[in-house]
Structure 1
Amino acid sequence: MLTYKIFEDRGLVEVEPKSKLTAADFKVLTESVDDYLEKHLRLHGLIIYTQFFPGWEDWDAFMKHLCFVKNHHEEIEKVALVTDAKIGTLGESLGKHFISAEIKHFAYKDYERALMWF
């Protein structure tokens, strides 16, 4: 399950994985982000906020996640990985080679610091 909020006034999307991610999670997120982008053209930032990354429900969910990244990475200026999961450090190092957004990892307790980064 993935919850999310769009802060239109700041141009930010915050996603919070709560349990294994599903293909349906990315369908709903994609629709909402696309609706925002029709009006604003770009997102200032994306915050991924989870203490521990729960993984994906199945291969389809993983592929939908990759499609979301592929289809939106050029429209997002910055991505904050706010997590204590090891994937945060890995995502920061690897992501720089595959997406155009600037990526930065923050410890889970540093949510406020991550917000100030935008």
Structure 2
Amino acid sequence: MIEHKWLQGHTVLQVRPRGKFTAEDFHQLAEKIDPIIREQGRIEGLLIDAEDFAGWENFVAMVSHFRFVHNHEKHIQRIAVVSDNPVLKFMPHLVCHFISAEVRPFPLNDYPEALAWLKNPG
């Protein structure tokens, strides 16, 4: 399951994975954000609260995740990944070669800084 919450009048989306990702999670998330992207043209920021990231349920879920990223990354200006997981701290350095959004990791205790960074693009 992916919990989500809009911040700053639908300009920043906070997502929080709960358990392992399923293919359906990304279908449901797309249904929530696609209308906002059509209306606004883009989302200023995506805040990924990855404290509970548990991976994917199966290969289909992983492919659905990659497809979701491919279809939406061009509509997101900045991505903040909040986690103390050492593997996820390196994720922004890897994904920056594949997506156009600026991606930055933040430790869990820097959640307010991550949100401030997303709210003030520039």
TM-score for both structures, normalised by structure 1:
0.94
- Matching residue of 2:112: 112
Decide whether aligned partners of structure 1 residues 80 and 108 sit closer, same or farther in structure 2, where only a CA change above 3 A counts. same
Match of 1:76, as an amino acid?
Answer: I
- Matching residue of 2:62: 62
Q: How does 1:94-105 map to 2 (within 5 A)?
A: 94-105=94-105
Residue 108 of structure 1 deviates from its aligned partner by 1.1
Unpaired segments of 5 or more residues in structure 1? Answer: none
Unpaired segments of 5 or more residues in structure 2? Answer: none
TM-score for both structures, normalised by structure 2:
0.91
Structure-2 separation of matches of 1:93 and 1:61: 23
Decide whether aligned partners of structure 1 residues 8 and 64 sit closer, same or farther in structure 2, where only a CA change above 3 A counts. farther
Structure 1 SS opposite 2:19 = coil
Decide whether aligned partners of structure 1 residues 73 and 62 sit closer, same or farther in structure 2, where only a CA change above 3 A counts. same
Structure 1: 4+ residue segments shifted above 4 A: none
- Matching residue of 2:79: 79
What is the RMSD of the two structures over their aligned residues, measured on CA atoms? 1.2
- Matching residue of 2:38: 38
- Matching residue of 1:6: 6
Instruction: Please list the CA deviations of residues 68-106 of structure 1 after superposition, one character each: whole Å capped at 9, or x if unmatched.
Output: 110111110000000111232221110111100000000
